[in-house]
Amino acid sequence: MNVAHSVVVVTGSGSGIGRAVAMMYARYGAHVVIAERDREAGTATAEAINEKSETTGSAFFHPVDVSVPADIEALMQMVKERYGRLDILVNNAGVSHWESPYDLSVDTWDRILNTNLRSVFLCSREAAKIMRENGGGAIINLASTRARMSEPNTEAYAASKGGILALTHALAVSLGPDRICVNAISPGWIETGDYASLRLEDHEQHPSGRVGKPEDIARACLFLTQRDNDFITGAELVIDGGMTRKMIYVP
């Protein structure tokens, strides 16, 4: 993996997928900024990385609420002052909310869209300003298979994730001249809790034979941000164990 000494920002990296992504980059020698709203979780991730003897990279925690534009600007300014460059941005931070469309308030809609979608644009724009000064970079946006399929009462979340897919290809075109690749990853069921508690039927409904793990997404981020993979941009990589390819009939 040729990410050694790269500077990487991972939003929402205090837990779950974001934490796994941050730890994976640090494992291969990157300097990772843990951009996280939860101070306790963000600090814990940074400490876990810095205390691992087998990790060749490093981590630095910076508190940020990605729904606040000023926080995003302060984050990127800190990155520029501390490291002088930015190579990779992983837009992972997001919130979910299930509520009937009859009851969903405008304030809740705005909170979900501002956190999940607007932040991706703002983080990407501010990151790109730094990346273009150093010959380019790579941006990964975490979308979801829910951008293309839904359960009831997920309108705000689905809209935010669908917007990320459209924003990804738009940014790929706009930022291409600055040698910045922009891609999206759409995870399916990625278990971030107690994996051992999953049922056999949970695994068997996946063509892959198992439910996904955060490390599955982390490895995909590494792949898409390899310098030699600069021909991949504007793409969506679906990582769902094959679930969205499976036809389901009621017997």
Catalytic residue selected from 28, 102, 157, 195: 157
Q: Centre a 10 Å sphere on the Cβ of residue 53 and count the other Cβ atoms it contains.
A: 5
Contact 179, 135 (CB under 8 A): yes
**83 counts as catalytic:** no
Termini Cα distance of the chain: 47
Q: Could you give the residue numbers annotated as active site?
A: 157
